[in-house]
């Protein structure tokens, strides 16, 4: 088995055509220095090979030239995934149990499906390949991790709690006068809160899905096709800020009214 392995999950990246080209140059350069590329077996079968996988608009393609990859990249309506793979014939024949290989997978949809993995019997080749690819990826960083992090999810959840309370309070004020029962206000408030709580379970997942779609973990940016994406990000950001300020105003108003009873 291969003795050396480096792998890492990737996050918060924006890939342009220029960055993809830089990655191709680096990875293609590592192919020529792969240990198996120096083997002489005197056959027509190559000892090492490089190919690409691109998935877009619900379909995937495996291609063997960067030009074909970029052609699909430019014509796609929505790019889902791009992969670079360099692999030795030993690795292919053994399902990667022996031999050298390197794979860089960049997935727009699945946050946990973006990674770099390098393995070989040559530790120096593994380290240099991993480091050279990571050096390019460091220049592709974006700030989407702030909106996809745990604090953003907590903010969305707390916003739902505030909105649910206000909705239930409004429903109780609007409906309770028409109910000829004891404690109509309290009963209406609790019923509305129960209904909203069940709805929020689904609404929360829908909002989180929308946020991840607008602020993806890995984003493929094409200026001629993705200008609308910036508008969506600005719109989502504006809504979040507006809701936060609205809830903050309500909170300060409530605290002010409570404190005014003591002074």
* pLDDT tens by residue, 177-214: 877 777 888 888 888 889 888 888 888 888 887 777 77
Residue 2: band (very low, low, confident or very high) from pLDDT cuts 50, 70, 90: low
For residue 104, pLDDT over 80 is answered with yes
For residue 14, pLDDT over 50 is answered with yes
Handedness of CA 92, 98, 102, 105 (dihedral sign): positive
For residue 128, pLDDT over 50 is answered with yes
Residue 93: band (very low, low, confident or very high) from pLDDT cuts 50, 70, 90: confident
How many Cβ atoms from other residues are within 10 Å of residue 184's Cβ? 15
**pLDDT for the residue numbered 179:** 76
**pLDDT for the residue numbered 248:** 61
Whole-number Å distance between alpha carbons of 132 and 218: 19
Strand segments (E) across the chain: 4-9, 13-15, 48-56, 59-63, 79-88, 101-107, 115-120, 218-220
For residues 118-131, give the mean pLDDT. 94
Nearest to 165 by CA among 256, 241, 251: 251
pTM of the complete model: 0.73
For residue 77, pLDDT over 70 is answered with yes
For residues 46-53, give the mean pLDDT. 90
**pLDDT for the residue numbered 247:** 62
Of these ranges, 14-23, 32-41, 167-176, 203-212, the one predicted with the greatest mean pLDDT is 14-23
Top pLDDT among 146 and 130 is at: 130
Q: What is the CA radius of gyration of the chain?
A: 27
Q: Mean pLDDT of all residues in the chain?
A: 82
User: What does the domain layout of the chain look like in residue ranges?
Assistant: 4-140, 145-260
**pLDDT for the residue numbered 234:** 55
């Amino acid at each position: 088995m291969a003795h050396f392995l480096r792998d890492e999950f990737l996050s918060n990246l924006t890939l342009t055509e220029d960055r993809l080209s830089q990655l191709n140059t680096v990875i293609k350069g590592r192919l020529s220095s792969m240990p198996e590329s120096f083997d002489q077996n005197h056959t027509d079968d190559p000892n090492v090979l490089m190919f690409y996988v691109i998935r877009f608009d619900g379909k995937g393609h495996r291609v063997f030239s960067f030009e074909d990859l970029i052609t699909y990249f430019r014509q796609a309506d929505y790019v889902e995934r791009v992969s670079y793979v360099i692999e030795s014939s030993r690795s292919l024949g053994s399902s990667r149990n022996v031999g050298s290989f390197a794979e860089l997978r960049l997935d727009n949809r699945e946050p946990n499906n973006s990674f770099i993995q390098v393995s070989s019997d040559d530790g120096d080749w593994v380290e240099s390949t991993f480091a050279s690819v990571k050096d390019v990826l460091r220049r592709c960083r974006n700030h989407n991790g702030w909106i996809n992090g745990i604090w953003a999810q907590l903010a969305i959840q707390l916003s739902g709690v505030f909105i649910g309370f206000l909705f239930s309070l409004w429903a109780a004020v609007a409906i309770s006068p028409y109910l000829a029962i004891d404690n109509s206000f309290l009963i209406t408030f609790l019923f509305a809160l129960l209904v909203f709580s069940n709805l929020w379970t689904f609404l929360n997942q829908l909002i989180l899905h929308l946020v991840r779609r607008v602020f993806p973990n890995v984003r493929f940016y094409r200026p001629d096709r993705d200008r609308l994406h910036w508008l969506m990000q600005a719109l989502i950001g504006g809504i979040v800020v507006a809701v936060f300020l609205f809830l903050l105003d309500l909170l300060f108003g409530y605290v002010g009214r409570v404190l005014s009873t003591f002074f």
